[in-house]
Amino acid sequence: MALLDESRWNDLIYSDGAWGPGTGSRSDVVEPATGEALGRITLATPDDVARAARTAANAQREWAATPHTQRAAVLRRAAALWTEHAEEITWWNVREVGAVPGMAGFAVHVAEQECYEAASLPSRPYGSLVPSEEPRLSMTRRYPAGVVGVISPFNVPIILGIRSVAPALALGNAVLLKPDPRTAVTGGLILARIFQEAGLPDGLLQTVIGGVDVGEAMITHPAVRVISFTGSTRAGQRVGELAGKHLKRAHLELGGNSAMIVLDDADVDAAVGLAAWGSYFHQGQICMTTGRHLVHERIYDDFVQRLADKAAKLPVGDPAREEVALGPVIDATQRDKIHALVTAGGGRIVTGGSFDRLFYQPTVIADTTADTPAFAHEIFGPVAPVARFSSLDEAVALATASEYGLSLGIVTQDAMRGVALADRIPTGIVHVNDQTVNDEANAPFGGLAASGTGSRFGGAGANIDAFTETRWITVRSQAATYPF
């Protein structure tokens, strides 16, 4: 049986465990590669958000009291369903998002693993004993936060949604999920159907598809206690500001302009292979994308030429109909932003720098500096700006000449030299002898500075901190006495 069919979701919203009419306007689900409509969705309104938040809060109380074994079982069934429906989910990821099949398959794999990792959370210790100078039992205990609002972006909608949805549910919370309207099926409705089929009780996961007004209604509703946001730094600043005003925790996973440093002893062919994957995988539409290549002057010219040769040979086209390395970017607005940065000057375009409809050619820009727009800003497209350095101090200066601090790659034949260099560059993630794009469900994930509020995803510790509240509890055998 299909996970999704038009009679189940077309022109409907998922709320309170059922599909029904929403109160917002209709919007087409558009395939970026062709511009064709794949179906229609109903956008939510702030009123829909308020109704969903109220019913989620009611459902959450019973869910939090459910035995941990039952919550874990729902997460395990959800994990199995990702694999069972992998072909259908991949089809949607390719068509709606523009992902190549390899990327779409990777998303399914990570989603499965996120659910299995989350299934281990309900049975973990939920408190600890604390020494007290009084004759009493003193302890801490973790409680579900309540209702969690998850706002996920268009670029990798499955992974960037499930990594918050799964642990939040496992730990006894309810979730309101607001996917980007451009990828509402892959990032929202598919997750709703997975958990519906897994036996999640009604009301605990609801999708509210919409724009800024829907997101702000979620952040400000009193029933929503925690916000998990993944998106641009600019939008994240607004989310953090609004959440702070309403005294709510906001976990912010934001933009990046990650550097890969190629030291003078690196194997050039190996470095070029890493560079191409880091900059061009998924059309560069990943927060961890390698946005800056810092290459030692001894091998700089060779690196630039080999990377340009490789980029020029990568096939670009419709991933649903051709075997390609790169598919389309999400829409014309994103394409035009990419092109504006590429053509802003300050470097030499060696290859690429052009597009056909939403298909942007893999691009190499040589001789960039810290002031070059394509080097200084997050491009979110298939562009590899390259700068040269002559010393480790210069490499550190270039790598830290950014407001972002998400991921870092270092390529060298001396791994410990790479670790020592990484210690000088503040960043949330480091990969020695690898590029910057890596993701595993059990590993902490998060950035610093303009890249976010640190590791709030991946691993039991980060997830428990993100989606629970800590309470201090003391117990005495007799009532305490005081001087008055």
The CA distance from 354 to 338, in Å, is 10
Q: Say what the pLDDT of residue 158 is.
A: 98
5-43 residue pLDDT tens: 765 666 666 777 777 777 789 999 999 999 999 999 999
Q: Say what the pLDDT of residue 37 is.
A: 96
Domains 6-254+452-472 and 258-432 share a fold: no
The CA distance from 104 to 214, in Å, is 28
The CA distance from 454 to 130, in Å, is 27
266-293 residue pLDDT tens: 999 999 999 999 999 999 999 999 999 9
Q: Say what the pLDDT of residue 7 is.
A: 59
Dig out the tokens for 329 from the structure: 């970017």
351-360 residue pLDDT tens: 999 999 999 9
Average pLDDT of the residues in 321-334: 98
Q: Would residue 297 show up in a list of annotated catalytic residues for this protein?
A: no
**Single-letter amino acid code for the residue at 104:** A
pLDDT at residue 117 greater than cutoff 90? yes
Overall fold of domain 258-432: Aldehyde Dehydrogenase; Chain A, domain 2 (3.40.309)
- The average confidence (pLDDT) of the chain is 96
Q: Say what the pLDDT of residue 426 is.
A: 96
- Name the burial class of residue 247, with classes exposed (0-12), middle (13-18) and buried (19+) by CB atoms within 10 angstroms of its CB: exposed
**417 confidence band (pLDDT: 50, 70, 90):** very high
| HSE toward the beta carbon, residue 112, CA cutoff 13 A | 14
**431 confidence band (pLDDT: 50, 70, 90):** very high
183-202 residue pLDDT tens: 999 999 999 999 999 999 99
Q: Which sequence spans correspond to the domains of the chain?
A: 6-254+452-472, 258-432
Dig out the tokens for 223 from the structure: 């029933």
Dig out the tokens for 80 from the structure: 């199995």
Q: Percent of the chain having pLDDT more than 90?
A: 93
pLDDT at residue 50 greater than cutoff 90? yes
3-state helix, strand, coil in the chain (%, to 5): 40, 25, 35
70-80 residue pLDDT tens: 999 999 999 99
Residue pair 258/290 in contact (Cβ under 8 Å)? The answer is yes
Average pLDDT of the residues in 308-331: 98
Catalytic residue, candidates 96, 117, 287, 378 = 287
The CA distance from 456 to 361, in Å, is 34
pLDDT at residue 67 greater than cutoff 80? yes
Catalytic residue, candidates 197, 253, 297, 323 = 253
Kindly state the DSSP code that residue 188 receives in the 8-state scheme: I
Say how many Å lie between the first and final Cα of the chain, rounded: 71
Question: Helices 68-84 and 190-197 sit at what angle, rounded to 10 degrees?
Answer: 120
The CA distance from 118 to 200, in Å, is 14
Q: Pairing state of beta strands 363-366 and 359-360?
A: unpaired
**Single-letter amino acid code for the residue at 324:** V
Average pLDDT of the residues in 90-102: 98
Average pLDDT of the residues in 80-106: 98
For the chain, helix (H) and strand (E) counts, in that order, are 17, 23
Which residues neighbour 185 within 8 Å (Cβ) at sequence distance 6 or greater?
A: 4, 9, 29, 38, 39, 41, 92, 96
CA 76 and chain centroid, separation: 22
Which residues neighbour 161 within 8 Å (Cβ) at sequence distance 6 or greater?
A: 150, 152, 177, 179, 187, 188, 191
442-463 residue pLDDT tens: 999 999 999 999 767 888 889 9
**4 confidence band (pLDDT: 50, 70, 90):** confident
**Concatenated DSSP letters of 386-444:** EEEESSHHHHHHHHTSSSEESEEEEE-S-HHHHHHHHTTS--SEEEETS-S----TTS-
What is the greatest pairwise CA distance in the chain? 84
Q: Would residue 87 show up in a list of annotated catalytic residues for this protein?
A: no
pLDDT at residue 143 greater than cutoff 70? yes
Q: Nearest-5° angle of CA 255, CA 419, CA 265? A: 100
Average pLDDT of the residues in 386-410: 98
Q: 6-254+452-472 architecture in CATH?
A: 3-Layer(aba) Sandwich (3.40)
pLDDT at residue 90 greater than cutoff 90? yes
pLDDT at residue 396 greater than cutoff 90? yes
